[in-house]
Amino acid sequence: MFNDKERFKASFLQRLEQSSGVSFENSTKRDHYQALGMMVREHVSTNWIASNEESRKGEHKEVYYLSIEFLLGRLLVSSLINLGVKDMVQQGLEELGIDLRELEKEEADAGLGNGGLGRLAACFLDSMASLKLSGYGHGIRYKHGLFEQKIIDGYQVELPEQWLRNGNVWEVRKPDLAIEVPFWGDVQWIDKSGKLTYVHEHAETVLAVPFDMPVIGYDTDRVNTLRLWGAEPAKHFPPHKDFMQYKRDTEQISEYLYPNDTSNDGKILRLKQQYFLVRASLMSIIRDYKKNHDHLYHFNEYVAIHINDTHPALTIPELMRILIDEEGMRWEEAWSIVTNTISYTNHTILSEALEKWSVELFKPLFPRIFMIIEEINKRFCKELWEQYPGDWDRIEQMAIVAHGYVKMAHLSIVGSHSVNGVAKLHTEILKMREMKNFYGFYPDRFNNKTNGITHRRWLVQANPELNSAISNAIGPDWVYRTEELKKLSSYANDSSYQQQINEIKLKKKQELARIIHDRNNLKIDENSIFDVQIKRLHAYKRQLLNLLHIMYLYNQMKENSSYKPYPRTFIFGAKAAPGYDYAKKIIKLVHSVAKVVNNDPVTKDYIKVVFLENYNVSLAEKIIPATNVSEQISTASKEASGTGNMKFMMNGAITLGTQDGANVEIADLVGPENIFIFGLKADQVMQYEKHGGYHSHDYYHNDRRIKKVVDQLTSGFFRDSFYDFETISDSLLMENDQYFLLKDFHAYVKAQENVADAYSDRDRWLQMSIHNIAQSGFFSSDRTVSQYAKDIWNIQPQQ
Ligand SMILES: *Cc1c(COP(=O)(O)O)cnc(C)c1O
């Protein structure tokens, strides 16, 4: 089908007629997308079956990656690239008068995640398959992914996202493999041949139905599986309940992705989602395992289970339940298998984001699971007591269940053999501060795995021009071994190569300018500096610092008519959690600032502010290749790693950032001359947090630039909406500026001046840009996943 262009064209036309039931002349773009998608799926099916059969033999260890989020984006073009047929398909379609880039847009962007954590899971799937590892993703098939963002009058409005509206060509529903998931009810004990065994009775049961999607690796026959579970009514529904009510309660479980990635709301539903994922995944893993093994005593030698943050942490008590209640093991035997099977990644140290559930809520929903957690806690506290006799404070602090709450991070650490942070700095903070007591108790358990991104999507696919320029210079092998990108360094001072890189960047900027024109009806200067901050909206990410700087630039120009800054286009993209009012006000502020600076005759040719609505993976693929300056300006110590920073670096943008998360590692790799680092360091921030000593009022009163921009928030400067910004002003003054914006303001302004100076020296800038691309190979998720495979999962590549 994909062997050569002529055969491809013939198959495509044939498939198109079969699947759409109309002639080529009358077919639509959607018909074309559908036909090509089905061809890809059919093409990989043989390898998919072979990979599954290989797994079913049960000879090799496999890893299951459990995640409540998978932020996949579109899959068609990445599949074509991984199959090595994209160029041929593109030409074939072109000869039929079809533009692959248009057809691509017919695919819904699968947004089953909030941001970085979900996107990491998607990059890991791509890397596991490309490295020929048998690695399976398990997640939830949310009917509605992350909300679609509309901006009305500068305000965010959330609409339900409908990625399944036109079906999903990649998935296969497997009703025969459905699993029952029980909630509520009570626990009885029965005498099972002389042994006391607990059973969960009178439960309300929900059916988890798997939808399997192929995960195609790059240039390999390996096809892994992403299994997403959908909730459906079970055959035996509770007799006392109205069926319609039961159906609604059931289907709700896989209805919506939880849109808030910091705090907890909609608690029961959220908890149900977590157990639903865990129970269905474990039961299906064990069902497969038992096809080749008589018992589970060697389970951890063949199966590794990784939990992406604490959302799937119930895997720990659930696996205990299966081993004890169903397999009849003793506690100690079961515990050893559980802890040797499970590993855990911590993604945040923000205390409001550490999951905890009230016992009141938890216990009735999972009566048996709660008993097991209590027993785990009891035994753990006993161990602590033996090591630290009399140290009640420490034991109270470390307990899994305390003061009426179940602490999921504590459960995850105690119940696994590996706990990893996602960047060097983050792991150090975990060990030395947040999880200090746990590190003291389990020093060998903690390790670092700096995040990564798949260079196949974020460079080969998103920036084909740069991909060619790299391969033309250093050969194509870097796609298999991204460390080889380092060879590009020798081209950094080559002026003809610099020129090539310059032209590619300009082309990508022109493409983005067109998108901005189409979407926002705004003309932007493609020769201006494209200065970009795209990420979820959070106070700690400090989009506000960026805005205060823009307001300062505006004020400078208004006050001093001879001041002409290097022209800049400031581009923002961000979704705010629906209940996060502060974040929503910042979105409004972006629009208010834009309205002022984009329309003032003094500034409009020098400063433009653009907000691109509905930031998601597909939009990121368009923005990142066009970026000159990558804004990574979180308060030091708050951003665990960041992965946006890596995507930008790989596309030749220069980071303007704090010493936070993976920025620190980017700086180490490229050297201080190829990055703009500013502001407080993590240990300084933590010192202030602990001992005080920072007074934002001092900065407000002593720096007239700061006073002016902060006053403008509430002075009526933004005529349409000034009262909106009182809470923002209060956060900076009344609440003493928790994220140190005013403290870092001066350093940020200086760093921005250095950016402008560097940019006006074209050779220097292009040299910096090439050095960044050359050093970005370390941030391929292939490197990250290889480290997980070797150090945590203990699995080897197949074939
Ligand atoms: C990479 C990515 C993120 C993570 O960005 P950070 O800057 O690391 O927070 C979030 N959303 C989307 C759509 C992404 O592609």
**Single-letter amino acid code for the residue at 400:** I
Residue 431 pLDDT > 70, yes or no? yes
Residue 265 pLDDT > 70, yes or no? no
pLDDT of residue 264: 61
Q: Is 536 a catalytic residue?
A: yes
- 226 lies in the same domain as 102: no
**Residue 568 counted as domain residue:** yes
pLDDT of residue 353: 80
Q: What is the distance between the alpha carbons of residues 179 and 186, in angstroms, rounded to a whole number?
A: 20
- pLDDT tens readout for residues 534-590: 999 999 999 999 999 999 999 999 999 999 999 999 999 999 999 999 999 999 999
pLDDT of residue 486: 98
CA-proximal residue: ligand 1, atom 4 (nearest) = 116
Q: Is 347 a catalytic residue?
A: yes
Q: What is the distance between the alpha carbons of residues 365 and 184, in angstroms, rounded to a whole number?
A: 4
**Residue 458 counted as domain residue:** no
DSSP 145: -
pLDDT of residue 417: 98
Q: Which of 200, 279, 536, 783 is catalytic?
A: 536
pLDDT of residue 798: 84
Number of domains in the chain: 3
- 703 lies in the same domain as 693: yes
Distance 116 CA to ligand 1 centre (A): 5
**Residue 464 counted as domain residue:** no
- pLDDT tens readout for residues 624-649: 999 999 999 999 999 999 999 999 99
Q: Which of 138, 311, 535, 568 is catalytic?
A: 535
Place of tokens 């951003």: 639
- 33 lies in the same domain as 116: no
Per DSSP, the three-state class of 251 is helix
**Residue 497 counted as domain residue:** no
Average pLDDT over every residue of 471-494: 98
- 83 lies in the same domain as 138: no
Distance 161 CA to ligand 1 centre (A): 18
Q: How confident is the model at residue 259 (pLDDT cuts 50, 70, 90)?
A: confident
Distance 178 CA to ligand 1 centre (A): 33
CA-proximal residue: ligand 1, atom 15 (nearest) = 617
DSSP 571: E
- 213 lies in the same domain as 179: yes
Q: What is the distance between the alpha carbons of residues 265 and 123, in angstroms, rounded to a whole number?
A: 28
**Single-letter amino acid code for the residue at 93:** L
- 386 lies in the same domain as 437: yes
Average pLDDT over every residue of 54-72: 93
Mean pLDDT is lowest, of 269-273, 444-448, 494-498, 668-672, for: 269-273
**Residue 291 counted as domain residue:** yes
CATH number of the domain within which 718 lies: 3.40.50.2000
- 149 lies in the same domain as 101: no
- 744 lies in the same domain as 712: yes
**Residue 142 counted as domain residue:** yes
**Residue 206 counted as domain residue:** yes
- 443 lies in the same domain as 532: no
Average pLDDT over every residue of 770-790: 98
Torsion, Cα 532 536 539 541, to 10 degrees, reads: -50
Alpha helix positions (H), 254-330: 267-290, 299-302, 315-321
For 83, phi and psi rounded to 5 degrees?
-80, -5
- 51 lies in the same domain as 64: no
- 415 lies in the same domain as 519: no
Per DSSP, the three-state class of 724 is helix
Nearest one of 632, 748, 634, 740 to 688, comparing CA atoms: 740
**Residue 642 counted as domain residue:** yes
- 213 lies in the same domain as 344: yes
What is the span of the domain harbouring residue 232?
57-73+109-451+785-793
- pLDDT tens readout for residues 304-350: 999 999 999 999 999 999 999 999 999 999 999 999 999 999 999 88
